[in-house]
Amino acid sequence: MEGQYNPRTVEEVFRDFKGRRAGMIKALTTDVEEFFQQCDPEKENLCLYGFPSEQWEVNLPAEEVPPELPEPALGINFARDGMQEKDWLSLVAVHSDAWLLAVAFYFGSRFGFDKADRKRLFNMINDLPTIFEVVTGSVKKQKEKSAATNHSNNKSKSNSKTQRGSESQAKYSRAPQPKDDDELDEEDEEEHGDTLCGACGENYATDEFWICCDICEKWFHGKCVKITPARAEHIKQYKCPSCSNKRARP
């Protein structure tokens, strides 16, 4: 388990929160196959930990009482085979959200955050989608429904190959076509501005390469799934790590 450090300002606590959150999202999305295997129901009470370094770990709870930090939910491994995988992952995600808030406000209390600091910290945290929302795709579904109502002429996101090609062309044609920059950015931002990366949960940005899974239709930063624009051009059907690793469960 990684060594602890103590963030002391609102910005430091939020940075700690984002790092731990990113690690846990990774466990429940891009690294889900490894996470599933580590949560063996035959083992003792296991917890999912997220670290400020954006890494995750499945391990036994801390032995010291009381622990240095609040502990995640115990025994996440026991329910693994007793329910549908997606329901189990959603349950772990909910408990992970609760743990992240507990850790953040533990630091806030320990280092004497006043009412204004606590409110600012919560608002910063609240601007990010929860792990549950990222794992279940509920935020994307809500925003896609709203976008469909407000922008009925938008192209369907299911046409991922065409969009990937046009996005790639737009990014690599900016230099020879400077007059179209603003128009391309505005259209791209309008159509995808509410899209969240299925791996890290961050919002769409026009200056980053994205790719859409043809199976679950979730969008990902190329860097999060280790896909470059050049490699994407040769992929006929892209499957994200989660869809690629799916197999029949006993």
Q: What is the pLDDT of residues 171-201, one digit of tens each?
A: 333 333 444 555 555 555 555 556 788 888 8
Inside any domain, residue 85: yes
Highest mean pLDDT of the ranges 1-10, 167-176, 204-213: 204-213
The residues that bridge with 59 in the sheet, in sequence order, are 47
Domain enclosing residue 105, as ranges? 10-136
Inside any domain, residue 187: no
Q: Regarding predicted confidence, which is higher, 23 or 247?
A: 23
Same domain, 16 and 132: yes
User: In sequence order, what are the residues at sequence separation of 6 or more whose Cβ sits closer than 8 angstroms to the Cβ of residue 198?
Assistant: 29, 134, 137, 213, 216, 218, 219, 220, 240, 242
Angle at 240 between CA 183 and CA 25, to 5 degrees: 90
Beta-carbon count within 10 A of 116 CB: 9
Domain boundary among 136, 163, 182: 136
Highest mean pLDDT of the ranges 6-15, 112-121, 141-150, 221-230: 112-121
Domain count, the chain: 2
Sign for the CA dihedral angle at 231, 236, 242, 244 comes to: negative
Looking at every residue in the chain, the average pLDDT score rounds to 80
